[in-house]
Structure 1
Amino acid sequence: MQDIQSLGRMLEQTAKKYKKKQAILFEGREISYRELDENANKVANGLQKLGIGKGDRVAMMLPNTPDFLYCFFGIQKLAAVAVPFNTMYKGREIAHILNDCEARVIITLSNTANLINEIRPDVPSLEHVVLTGNRTLVFTGPESTVNLQLVLGKDTFEKPEQAFERVGNLIVAVLKEFGVDSYYKHRGGIRAGGKKIANVLVNEIENLLMINALCFIGPLPLDTFFRVIWVPPEVKDKAVEPLTSVQEETGTLPSLEDFKKALLTAVEKEFGVELEAGSLKRDELFGYEKAKAVATKSL
């Protein structure tokens, strides 16, 4: 019986033999065996620096892209065990798989980072979350969502993780003012009746934290989304996790102005600042432009 490392060695030998010959064709782009092997080596080296070795489980929540193959073969080169699973899985399903295989690492797309953060406290074996890809999907609608963006110095918090907790609890308090019984359990997601009603994203840029909060005040029309991005009918209910809104929970749609006022008042109280309309300050402008550049690059 061949050991698991043979797949990694097989790729190395094939790359030496065929070098520039096509190994992968993805969206019209040809990727050679040499390029495949080089990228697999990069993954292996990165995982090795995280302490991953023979027999360690590395979960892979990746779509059918070249990154999947880079990661799969990179894991084989370390004689570790790759555990790929469906990218449509959500909270409990992901936690069950990670706990069942005792994964030390999960490799996934950047747009699922928030989802992994939510269940991470329930997966004690998980030490590292490795992200690939720049695309982050945020579902918004002009009459359905309220967006809050804060640019704060890292010294505002003892550790960045506290940004999730303070902003999450702040939003829970605002939702309570509008009659919504919601709760914040893990990093990122605020829920009402088990459905997501608000979301918090935190990005570190230099000495700043970019905090983006998204609140659903009205139902989000997902039909528009599914007209643009097609998914098979049998998995449509898993493509987007269950969402709810202030209107759906209370029967009343709050005005954007009222919700905005309540949110800003809560921010002022929580962080001891006074907010007023005006131009961004130097550090705020830097953080905003940096985030916008990343977002533009990912389009």
Structure 2
Amino acid sequence: MDSAHGLGRMLEEMARKQKKRQALLFDNREVSYRELDENANKIANGLQSLGITRGDRVAMMLPNIPDFVYSFFGIQKLGAVAVPFNTMYKGREIIHILNDCEAKAIITMTNFANLINEIQEDVPSLQHIILTGQRTMVFVSPDSTVNVQMVVGKDRFASGDEAFRVVGELLIDTLKSFGVEAWYKHRGGVRCGGRKIAIVLVSEVENLLVINCITFLGPLKTDDFFRVVWVAPEVKDKVMEPTTSVEEQTGTRPSLELFKDALLAALQSRLGISAEEGQLKRDELFGYEKTRALADKK
């Protein structure tokens, strides 16, 4: 950083005078002022490399974790404007905030990547989505959801956007075969009647794209989720985005085998390929092992 502004400069002074003094305590881990300042500098330099300058708005959709503090002070060091907002907010609320402040970038958890990708086209000013955290958390239950994973070479699609779109259309074709009229929302959301019925997640692993298609076959039971992740009772209804399922739309829940056959038929028809059962190849197995992150906890 060339020169910090305001609160950023104050942090630098504290780091110089009290470098080993505790600045943060999170999950029984201490963060000194020096470490805080170093991490804030990394954020500031990263934002600067993206073209963020003095006066630009940078939104922050982060819970109470050290990354929030690092990001806040990193933004201050540039003289940019931090716009933090509640992680419980959903699509329309987020769109309003981002458009109102004309956010040029947003820093958020990987948990929210799918949500932000989905609304990006509704926020013209938003140029950069910056993620922190190790993986996307998606709640699935064997009783109500099916997750189909595909591992393909990056050259199969022209871009990440195309991968999202094509796979979203595949899911729409599959759902139509069961009598469900769904529509695709930008980068990952498949909806029916305004409620999410399927999700597409795309991850890059070396020269591969690992694509997860999560579809709700039956009503999603949230009891297990709230048993694992504590949420204050007064906000439970805001944590989970409204969903629907094939069973709720048609009165019948298809079996996993039936859904797999329908998805494979749509896949072969739209991509012009043939699918064969067999052992995973080396690259496919590598991609699978790298992204095997979905679990159901009882």
The alignment's TM-score, normalised by the length of structure 1, stands at 0.94
Q: Does 1:160 align with 2:137?
A: no
C-alpha distance in 2 between matches for 1:93 and 1:106: 15
C-alpha distance in 2 between matches for 1:291 and 1:180: 29
Give the SS at the match of 1:262: helix
Q: Deviations over 1:58-109 (max 9, x none)?
A: 0000000000000000000000000000001111111110000000000000
Aligned position for 2:195: 195
Q: CA deviation at 1:295?
A: 7.8
The answer to whether the 8 A contact 1:60-1:82 is kept is yes
C-alpha distance in 2 between matches for 1:177 and 1:106: 38
Q: Does 1:65 align with 2:65?
A: yes
Gaps of 5+ in 1: none
The answer to whether the 8 A contact 1:146-1:260 is kept is no
Residues 256-271 of structure 1: pairs in structure 2 closer than 5 A: 256-271=256-271
Aligned position for 1:97: 97
Q: Does 1:79 align with 2:79?
A: yes
Q: Does 1:121 align with 2:121?
A: yes
Q: Deviations over 1:210-265 (max 9, x none)?
A: 11100110111112211222212221111110011000111111122111110111
Give the SS at the match of 1:67: helix
Aligned position for 1:179: 179
Aligned position for 2:112: 112
Aligned position for 1:281: 281
Amino acid at match of 2:54: K
Identity of aligned residues (%): 67
Amino acid at match of 2:27: E
Aligned position for 2:55: 55
Amino acid at match of 1:98: L
Gaps of 5+ in 2: none
Amino acid at match of 2:196: K
**Cα-Cα RMSD:** 1.5
C-alpha distance in 2 between matches for 1:203 and 1:270: 21
Q: Does 1:216 align with 2:216?
A: yes
C-alpha distance in 1 between matches for 2:165 and 2:249: 23
Q: CA deviation at 1:273?
A: 2.1
C-alpha distance in 2 between matches for 1:249 and 1:179: 8
The answer to whether the 8 A contact 1:114-1:187 is kept is yes
Q: Does 1:248 align with 2:263?
A: no
C-alpha distance in 2 between matches for 1:54 and 1:197: 41
Give the SS at the match of 1:39: helix
Amino acid at match of 1:271: L
Q: Deviations over 1:9-31 (max 9, x none)?
A: 00000010011111101110010
Q: CA deviation at 1:7?
A: 0.4
C-alpha distance in 1 between matches for 2:250 and 2:289: 37
The answer to whether the 8 A contact 1:42-1:74 is kept is yes
Q: CA deviation at 1:154?
A: 1.3
